[in-house]
């Protein structure tokens, strides 16, 4: 296992590399980190690279005046792949937000993604009528969200907070996410804090609307494996196919799992991914 920093358009992005051979890029969900794949990555063949998105994990925060627009994640993904696999197409496994970014990337760079696995993720349904309110919320968030790190008492405290926000998360999964998601607070001695930038909690001012998302999805030619958690965020398969009729996808539900399917059942998720090769 190797920790590496990538210079992507002047921003330092952290990743965790394992193995050799055909590359699989692993993309985490919102407020998670590359370590969320620590149970799954060793079970996958070839070379795996788990990336921390900007503002997450051990990647750099945006500077003063910057923001976390969703399209920036897609641009960071493009820049990271230019460094990690400049010639060969890669397989991508994305969870939640990471899967949504990968889906759009597959539409924009069809020759770069040979296969996509989406773990409990579907693009958010945002209507154009909602955008003015989102813009107003964005301005309020910029005014009121401090850039100070959010402190926690211990790994146990962090794990309990994660479990309260996501009741389907197993104790083991919550502790793994907590252990990789906190660090000593550089602003206060003998204190711990979340690694993620508090600005990530601000509303996105211009989310990708439903009509635009449908146009983008119509461009995707990459084969897709969708893995649902039994009590996760994804709709049931018929509703999912009705929502995204253009995608060539196979859908599997893993019993007894929630939103973090790859943490609840890494062996089953790895088996599904290997079978899709």
Strand stretches in the chain, DSSP E = 2-8, 11-18, 23-27, 47-51, 90-95, 113-119, 151-152, 182-184, 192-194, 224-229, 249-254
Q: 3-state SS of 73-135? A: HHHHHHHHHHHHCCCCCEEEEEECHHHHHHHHHHHHCHHHEEEEEEECCCCCCCCHHHHHHHH
Question: Residue 125: its pLDDT value, please?
Answer: 67
Q: How far is the C-alpha of 116 from the C-alpha of 93, rounded, in Å?
A: 6
Question: Residue 164: its pLDDT value, please?
Answer: 93
Q: How far is the C-alpha of 47 from the C-alpha of 41, rounded, in Å?
A: 9
What's the pTM? 0.95
CATH number of the domain at 2-127+208-275, please?
3.40.50.1820
| Per-position pLDDT tens, the chain of length 277 | 999 999 999 999 999 999 999 999 999 999 999 999 999 999 999 999 999 999 999 999 999 999 999 999 999 999 999 999 999 999 999 999 999 999 999 999 989 999 999 999 866 667 788 889 989 999 999 998 888 899 999 999 999 999 998 888 888 899 999 999 999 999 888 899 999 999 999 988 888 877 888 888 899 999 999 999 998 888 777 777 877 888 889 999 999 999 999 999 999 999 999 999 7
């Amino acid at each position: 296992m190797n920790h590496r920093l990538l210079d992507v358009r002047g921003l330092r992005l952290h990743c965790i590399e394992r193995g050799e051979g055909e590359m699989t890029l692993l993309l985490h969900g919102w407020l998670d980190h590359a370590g969320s794949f620590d149970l799954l990555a060793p079970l996958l063949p070839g070379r795996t690279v788990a990336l921390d998105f900007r503002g997450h994990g051990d990647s750099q925060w945006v500077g003063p005046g910057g923001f976390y627009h969703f399209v920036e994640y897609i641009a960071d993904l493009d820049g990271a792949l230019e460094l990690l696999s400049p010639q060969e197409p890669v397989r991508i496994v994305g969870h939640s937000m990471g899967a949504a970014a990968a889906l759009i990337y597959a539409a924009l760079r069809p020759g770069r993604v040979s296969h996509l696995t989406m773990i409990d993720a579907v693009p958010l349904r945002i209507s154009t009528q909602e955008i003015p309110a989102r813009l107003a919320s964005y301005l309020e968030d910029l005014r009121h969200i401090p850039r100070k790190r959010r402190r926690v008492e211990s790994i146990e405290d962090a794990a309990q907070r994660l479990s309260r926000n996501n009741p389907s998360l197993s104790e083991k999964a919550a502790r793994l996410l907590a252990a990789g998601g906190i660090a000593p607070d550089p602003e206060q001695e003998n204190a711990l804090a979340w690694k993620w930038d508090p600005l990530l909690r601000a509303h996105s001012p211009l989310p990708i609307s439903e009509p635009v998302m449908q146009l983008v999805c119509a461009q995707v030619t990459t084969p897709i494996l969708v893995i649902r958690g039994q009590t996760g965020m994804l709709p049931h398969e018929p509703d999912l196919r009705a929502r995204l009729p253009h995608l060539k996808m196979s859908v599997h539900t893993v019993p007894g799992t929630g939103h973090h399917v790859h943490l609840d059942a890494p062996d089953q998720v790895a088996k599904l991914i290997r079978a899709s090769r």
